[in-house]
Amino acid sequence: MRLMKLVLAFLLILLCASALAQQPVVYTMQIEGPIEPAVALYVHRSIQIAERNDAQALIVLIDTPGGLGDSMDSITKDFFASDVPIVVYVWPRGAKAASAGAIIALAANIAAMSPATNIGAAHPVAIGGEQPDQVMSKKLENDAAASARKIAKERGRNVQVAEDFVRKSVSLTQDEAKKQNVIDIIADDQKDLLQQINGRKVQTANRVVIINSRNADVRTIAPSLRERFLHVVGNPNVAYILMLIAIYGIIFELQNPGSVFPGVVGGIALILALFSFAVLPVNLAGVLLIVLGIALLVTDVFLPGHGILTVGGLIAFVIGSLILFETRSPVFRISVTLVITMAAVTGAFFLFAVGAGIGAQRAKVVTGKEGMIGQVAEARTDIAPKGKVFAEGSWWNAVTEGEPIKKGELVCITGMDKLLLRVKKQENPKA
């Protein structure tokens, strides 16, 4: 009897283990904010994890104003190359899949939206802050429209609306998108989404998959530490601050050789800023204006110009900061509040920190040999040509470089050879 119970318990354990082993797995990841290289790396890694674990689907929760075209292309290519069904879900309420986010949603095997969301407005914006000519603008638009049509056709979505996203910056609510065959599902939440995708047949890169999401084990893939770091560094506001820290650190190190710490911080910030500039749409004119503004501030410290150079430098600095990145795209726009704050900090930095350093370098030496020269002392003996003077609280041997000097007269120290002072008669004893 006891043996029978043990056998039954063992069989029960095996059945439970088998049920757990057969439980379907669905992975989720979240894109929030601009689409840039760190996001593309995150998507690529998430797809690899889902494929390795034979997941039923990878749900990409998305809320983005858009981003870089290269990163968008990388993500859509990964979607089409995936062996795991990709579900893009515009979530939570109030979220949007705009610009690059709209094209990413079109590229999914299943596109879904939650209530009170929108999708679209994918007209291409030239990078670099420069207004492209009509020919180049048309080329960019045609290329983006062709890409949107191709993706929509491949996924069986409304090709015309996909093109209108690009050419007319059309934006649709979830109901409009569902009605016009842009998305497949409107789901109240992730639980509702899992119920609605269950049993759907989709074509992945190499096979046809019938999704089994009923009672699925939902696992979240969080961004790695590296991806989080790259995402932060790729933020235009962070890149801007890093650039200024680099400038401050290097200038402070040059003004105070050997202090080390400012130079190390400035060097690290410079490398990180260069990385940011490599992935962000930098406007060269903005960089040059910032450099010119700082150069004018430095010049005003060395060659005071009654504040004119400082005012001109701050104006150039502010204008350069405002156009440093693509200002016509809200994705890469620097905060105006941040620009004004950093302009004030920069002005104060050069007015006090750098000015104090240069003033200290220019200050007259008041100790040692250099400090003795120019001082006025009293002759304690006749100096003709040698005698003694009293200076710095001590008696000194002295030699006159001019007319003889009588005891009690004031002398000016003009030089020093070891412990012998060279002096001459003070021309204005009353001074």
For the question of residue 201 being annotated catalytic, the response is no
Report the C-alpha gap between 313 and 351 in whole angstroms.
12
Cβ burial of 366 (10 Å; 0-12, 13-18, 19+) is exposed
Q: What is the DSSP string of 126-143?
A: -STT----HHHHHHHHHH
Q: At what angle do helices 308-322 and 284-302 cross, to 10 degrees?
A: 160
Cβ burial of 374 (10 Å; 0-12, 13-18, 19+) is exposed
Which residue has 């020093």 as its token pair?
416
Alpha carbon distance, N-terminus to C-terminus of the chain = 121
Report the C-alpha gap between 265 and 157 in whole angstroms.
51
The amino acid at 103: I
Q: How many residues does the chain have?
A: 431
Which residue has 């639980």 as its token pair?
191
For the question of residue 139 being annotated catalytic, the response is yes
List 138, 139, 168, 201, catalytic entry = 139
Give yes or no for a contact between 407 and 430, defined as CB atoms under 8 angstroms apart: no
List 46, 99, 114, 321, catalytic entry = 99
Region of 361 (left: φ > 0; alpha: ψ -120 to 50; beta: rest) is: alpha
Residues with Cβ within 8 Å of residue 289, at least 6 apart in sequence:
316, 317, 319, 320, 323
Q: Which residues are catalytic?
A: 99, 139
